[in-house]
Amino acid sequence: MQHRSLLSLVWGVILAVMLLTGAAGPGRAQGGVTLTLFPAEVGVAETAVVEGRIACPAGSCMSFDLVLRFDRSIVRVWNATIGPYLGTQVFERQKLVDNAAGEVRLSYEALGMPPGTDDLLFSLEVGGLIPGTAVFSVESLQIADANGILLAATGTGTQVTVFETGKIAFFSPPVNEWEVAFTSERDGNPEIYVINADGTNPRRLTERSELDGAPAWSPDGSRLAFHSARDGNLEIYLMNPDGSGVQRLTDNPASDSDPAWSPDGTRLAFVSDRDGNPEIYVMNADGSNAQRLTNDPSTDTQPAWSPDGRQIAFVTARAGVAEVYLMNADGSSPRRLTPDLFGANGWYPA
């Protein structure tokens, strides 16, 4: 009897110690699971890798569901790759990289016991668009054991620093899969169409009796800016890539035309004669805060942003012939770039 009482006392002490020290029984993680994203540096128009590494008791983390958010104006995520942590036999439940929304969704499950020899859970191939710092944040994270029981888990985001290289980043609209927007009169009057980059599947986006033209993709491919005379004179509008959700941005008795997106998608340069002759203006992407950038008796047209958004090229005849000039994004320091070679048939920025 005394022997049994002694054993009971010993087991009671052991259980009490386990509870006080946070020890866990079989199949339970000892302590929380952590996912850490590591910082990276990348040049404009170059690529780098962001690693997501996991700290988890051996064998207890069998699957994960993850949502990341990132600054889509500074970086592009080209690809997401599962790491070796879960092993070689993995079931992919979801893999979504949405650059238009600045979102990555990953969901994977190990089909066998994770080897536990490498803590790399996944990696992201990122590309630099413009100089700056892009924040990657963990919006949601769920990690489960072999029985599907969710484990206590926390995720730590990171930053990607983009530095200048002198290269030009190619802004491929991610949501339209290499589509070209253009203006055509094939149906009787100028309308806006899109077509696949290989020339297949042309689709008409606008259908008005008035002129629609000058389509310009937003850097993330989620919107098209264009000008239209549907309300009596040329004004600037936005629409979705399928032609829906048309929104008027300018409302002026004068002509507003030829929108051009800034590289970060926050502003639009355009041409307007609201002050007597065609000049270059800039406004926010929602149509607010329109500001005049040029002020010359000649015609200023064809605005085009530099890749870093700090300068705007444009065409002007202020020297007597149409030539290309460059100015700061606030309109200061205009200077001529092209020589007087072609007269009125001069150069045009792109």
Model confidence over 148-197: pLDDT tens digits? 999 999 999 999 999 987 665 544 444 445 678 889 888 888 999 988 87
Structure confidence by residue, pLDDT tens digits, 127-156: 887 889 999 999 999 999 989 999 999 999
Length of the chain: 350
CATH class of 179-336: mainly beta
Structure-token pair, residue 283:
């406004």
Distance CA 221, CA 51 (A): 27
HSE of 218, CA atoms in CB hemisphere, 13 A: 24
* Residue with token string 């990696």: 123
User: Residue 52's pLDDT is what?
Assistant: 97
* Residue with token string 């800034």: 262
Distance CA 83, CA 105 (A): 15
| Mean pLDDT over the full length of the chain | 84
HSE of 300, CA atoms in CB hemisphere, 13 A: 29
Strand residues in 231-322 grouped as ranges (E): 235-239, 247-248, 256-261, 267-272, 279-284, 291-292, 300-305, 311-316
Delimit the CATH 2.120.10.30 region(s) of the chain.
Answer: 179-336
The confidence band for 199, taking pLDDT boundaries of 50, 70 and 90, is: confident
Mean pLDDT of 20-36: 55
Asked if residue 87 lies in contact with residue 67, where contact means CB atoms within 8 angstroms, the answer is no
One DSSP character per residue, 266-287 reads SEEEEEE-TTSS-EEEEEETTS
CB count in 10 Å sphere of residue 216: 19
CB count in 10 Å sphere of residue 90: 18
Share of residues in the chain with pLDDT > 70 (%): 83
Q: Who wins on pLDDT, 160 or 13? A: 160
Mean pLDDT of 302-310: 88
Can you tell me whether residue 42 is helix, strand or coil?
A: strand
Delimit the CATH 2.60.40.680 region(s) of the chain.
Answer: 31-163
Rg (CA), the chain: 29
| The overall pTM is greater than 0.85 | no
How many angstroms from the chain centroid is the CA of residue 21?
A: 46
Specify the amino acid at residue 256: D
Asked if residue 107 lies in contact with residue 94, where contact means CB atoms within 8 angstroms, the answer is yes
The dihedral built from the CA positions of residue 189, 193, 199 and 201, taken in this order, carries a sign that is negative
The confidence band for 215, taking pLDDT boundaries of 50, 70 and 90, is: very high
Fold of 31-163: Immunoglobulin-like (2.60.40)
pLDDT at 253 over 80: yes
Distance CA 41, CA 35 (A): 20
One DSSP character per residue, 208-252 reads -SS-EEEEEE-TTSS-EEEEE-TTSS-EEEEE-TTS-S-EE----
Distance CA 65, CA 291 (A): 46
